[in-house]
Amino acid sequence: MHCDIYKFPKHDDMYVYIARPDYPDDTNEIRDWLGVLPKDFRAGLGRSKFVMHLDLAATPTLARVDKAEVLAKLESQGYFVQMPPQDVMRRQAELRARESQDNIYD
């Protein structure tokens, strides 16, 4: 299974894997690969940035996620979302809370 990986500047350390089951035969046409994402979810992500193309069959392990889980999600829904580690999520939430609190007094 081949996939493309994207990141989003609004969400540190979150990556979205998009299935490319027909790769390389699907490269002749320009497509919106992120179109498989639910509209509401995609709208909240902001602008995407392509990170890399990955052949999961040639990759023994992945750094932060279970390869079998990624493959299962890619096959069943066409995408997989790799969430940031808990400490990063906690830090982002604290920063957003401080920013919103600071904005109250502006």
* pLDDT confidence tier of residue 73, bands split at 50, 70 and 90: very high
What does the block give as tokens for 88? 């990063």
CB half-sphere exposure, 3, CA atoms < 13 A: 27
Q: What are the sequence ranges of the domains in the chain? A: 2-104
pLDDT for res 99: 78
Q: Are 84 and 12 in contact (CB under 8 A)?
A: yes
Q: Which helix (H) or strand (E) holds 42?
A: helix 39-45
* Structure letter (DSSP) for residue 100: H
pLDDT for res 94: 77
Cβ burial, residue 101 (10 Å; 0-12/13-18/19+): exposed
Nearest to 34 by CA among 4, 72, 10: 4
The pTM (predicted TM-score) of the whole model is 0.77
CATH of domain 2-104: 3.10.510.20
Comparing 88 with 42, which gets the higher pLDDT?
Answer: 42
Mean pLDDT, rounded, for 86-92: 70
